[in-house]
Structure 1
Amino acid sequence: MTTKLIIHDVDENIALGLKRRAAANGRSTEAEHREILKSALQRPRRRPFLEVLASMPDVGRDDDFEVRGA
């Protein structure tokens, strides 16, 4: 099922940018708009914290993190 989406009061520069981007990608303005919405809404919002920790390089020594003077 598809739904029509109508957007009013778009800044002229935004509309022109959309037309230029569509032309550069070989798509109609409408198809470009659909692609932008799809891309924005389907990407993951955040990486899980454990994934961020796991991606950190293994550098330094454990004693770099010792509490001194406690």
Structure 2
Amino acid sequence: MLGLLSFALSGFLVLNQVNATLKESSMHRLRMMMLTALLIFPISSWSAEIEGVSLPEAIQLEG
């Protein structure tokens, strides 16, 4: 689990560096949110599968 969190943090920092070169605008902010969501979603599904819960079940449990 700690490895997944460090992977997510390093991925986020890389995305931050890449996007730091782009203009600051509402489109840029939207792109950042989408990239962050794309990074977090697979990690949450991996952690749910590691714990023995399928992703649809995990979504139902959280919702």
Q: TM-score with structure 1 length normalisation?
A: 0.33
Q: TM-score with structure 2 length normalisation?
A: 0.35
Of structures 1 and 2, the one scoring higher in RCO (CA 8 A, sep 6+) is 2
Q: Larger radius of gyration, structure 1 or 2?
A: 1
